[in-house]
């Protein structure tokens, strides 16, 4: 069992990863940390985490290794490059990739891990920066069940909703289903606000009525107020959401599934990206609606006006 006192390698201390690693320190785990930008791990090192110059060094001697990086290419790099995590982890260690990545890569990592006497889990998360800060993430897990049982207490430090979904890749497939639902919902939230404003309603007052009814959702409750306040700071980057939607679209096409809602959302987010929105939060989709009708609205993440 991987419990408090165990040594955890943690790779990726960005918007979400830093908060997640902090919760593990609070719970009594010993951390070996690595991040591509060292300064983003400095606060964790000040709290007692051990800084490691490479992902492979973070894995050395660890009972489990957690990764949460940007793109599938980054996942492949930290796990499979010579001297990477799989080459460096001790026999019997459990590798947990919490990045949203491709199911096929999760399956490849699981196979490679098994050949090195390791276990690998794909365990992407949902809940964004808020869920990470509050230890309220939803965690969807694929891989070896025995390995899952061994690290379940560790995962529950990060969020209460931890569900084993099945074989390697199942966690990533579940995350794709999650992202498809979010893609369609965030479009609906934007259109609800745009309509309310065009109809002359006070959108905040409107939200008081609809968020408690059947239209209620996490996106409506958390993102709509930030849209109206002009706060588009990233909890989850537009560029990363586009990556997720492209994975979901490709997986659907492999199975002959047509998902028009996902296709429309992806087209809109790609337009938002082209207009400079890559480094804003996904709720900045609202700016695209405004920009289409009010040219003075800014989308570029370096602009000072919303």
Does the annotation count 136 as an active-site position? no
Give phi and psi for 145, each to the nearest 5: -65, -40
The residue annotated as part of the active site, out of 175, 239, 243, 290, is 175
Active site residues: 175
């Amino acid at each position: 069992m991987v419990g408090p006192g165990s040594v955890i390698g943690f790779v990726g201390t960005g918007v979400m990863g830093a908060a997640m690693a902090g919760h593990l320190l609070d719970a009594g785990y010993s951390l070996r940390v690595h991040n591509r930008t060292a300064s983003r791990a400095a606060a964790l090192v000040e709290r007692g985490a051990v800084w490691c110059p490479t992902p492979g060094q973070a894995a050395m001697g660890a009972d489990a290794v957690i990764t949460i990086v940007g793109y599938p290419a980054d996942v492949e790099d930290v796990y499979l490059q010579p001297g990477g995590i799989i080459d460096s982890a001790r026999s019997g260690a459990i590798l947990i990739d919490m990045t949203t990545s491709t199911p096929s890569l999760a399956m490849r990592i699981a196979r490679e891990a098994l050949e090195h006497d390791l276990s690998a889990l794909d365990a992407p998360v949902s809940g964004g920066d808020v869920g990470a800060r509050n230890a309220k993430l939803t965690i969807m897990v694929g891989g070896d069940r025995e390995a899952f049982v061994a690290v379940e207490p560790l995962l529950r430090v990060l969020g209460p909703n931890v569900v084993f979904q099945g074989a390697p890749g199942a966690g990533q497939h579940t995350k794709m289903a999650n992202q498809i639902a979010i893609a369609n919902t965030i479009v609906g939230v934007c259109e609800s606000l745009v309509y309310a404003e065009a109809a002359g309603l006070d959108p905040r007052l409107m939200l008081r009525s609809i968020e408690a009814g059947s239209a209620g959702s996490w996106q409506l409750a958390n993102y709509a107020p930030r849209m109206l306040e002009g706060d588009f700071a990233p909890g989850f980057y537009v560029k990363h959401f586009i990556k997720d939607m492209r994975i979901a679209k490709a997986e659907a096409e492999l199975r002959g599934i047509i998902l028009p809602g996902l296709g429309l959302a992806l087209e809109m987010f790609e337009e938002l990206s082209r207009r400079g929105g890559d480094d804003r939060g996904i709720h900045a989709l609202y700016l695209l609606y405004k920009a289409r009708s009010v040219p003075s609205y800014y989308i570029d993440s370096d602009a000072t006006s919303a």
